Amino acid sequence: MKNQDIINLLRGMLKNKGSVIETIAESIDESVRIQNGLSKAKDTVLSNPSEANLRKMLNATMKSLETQSKTITQLALIALIYAANSNFTTDLAMSLNKLGHGAEALQEIFRQKMEG
């Protein structure tokens, strides 16, 4: 992904938060479709390992990898934006508290505050 692509993605996210949520939901659906499709393709190739089937499987796999790579990039960008958010530390502390590690979370927050 080029810098301009990232900038365009960020602009789109800024303009329409709903589209970000929609993109994530679509990515989940696409991942499930890819998983199911690859599973069926694998079964086909294993039951009939002809050169034509192997070529189809390779082509489908490459398309799937391209789609998954794009999705990972988008989700990583969303995670980066969230991690840079001022609420990130508080959200992590709340999660640790729910998991029974609230004292650790508070100690780390105070340590970070004291260090500046």
DSSP per position, 31-45: HHHHHHHHHHHHHHH
pLDDT in tens, 11-26: 777 777 777 788 888 8
pTM recorded for the entire structure: 0.65
Q: What is the pLDDT of residue 1?
A: 63
Domain boundaries along the sequence of the chain: 3-84, 86-116
Q: What is the pLDDT of residue 79?
A: 87
